[in-house]
């Protein structure tokens, strides 16, 4: 049991140190009408995993160093943030 706790701690620390894609997308320096709000961090991680250069240049943000580790954390944050993201997308 201690082994699994240690692995979980290492994964969380690695994800935090690599930078969360969701927070990077929220702090992106781009005009508000060009921002992607709904599942933005998850989309950035997915584009980095698939090495989609067109999507990465569209977001104008460097992806995390380890997008596979960051993916579940960004997915959970984006899911919690979804009601606010929908409001931002609709009223923008």
Per-residue model confidence (pLDDT) at position 46: 92
Residue listed under structure tokens 């067109």: 54
The better pLDDT of the pair 85, 17 is held by: 85
Domain housing 21 = 2-90
Q: What pTM did the predictor assign?
A: 0.72
Residue 45, burial from CB neighbour count under 10 angstroms (0-12, 13-18, 19+):
buried
pLDDT digits (tens, 9 = 90+) for 22-80: 777 777 777 766 777 788 889 889 999 999 888 888 888 888 888 888 888 888 888 88
Contact 74, 21 (CB under 8 A): yes
How many structural domains comprise the chain? Answer: 1
């Amino acid at each position: 049991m201690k082994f699994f706790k240690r692995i979980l701690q290492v994964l969380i620390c690695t994800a935090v140190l690599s930078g969360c894609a969701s927070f990077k997308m929220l702090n992106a320096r781009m005009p508000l009408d060009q921002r992607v709000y709904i599942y933005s961090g998850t989309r950035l991680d997915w584009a980095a995993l698939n090495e989609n250069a067109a999507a990465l240049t569209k977001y104008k943000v460097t992806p995390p160093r380890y997008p596979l580790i960051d993916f579940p954390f960004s997915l959970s944050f984006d899911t919690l943030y979804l009601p606010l993201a929908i409001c931002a997308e609709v009223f923008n």
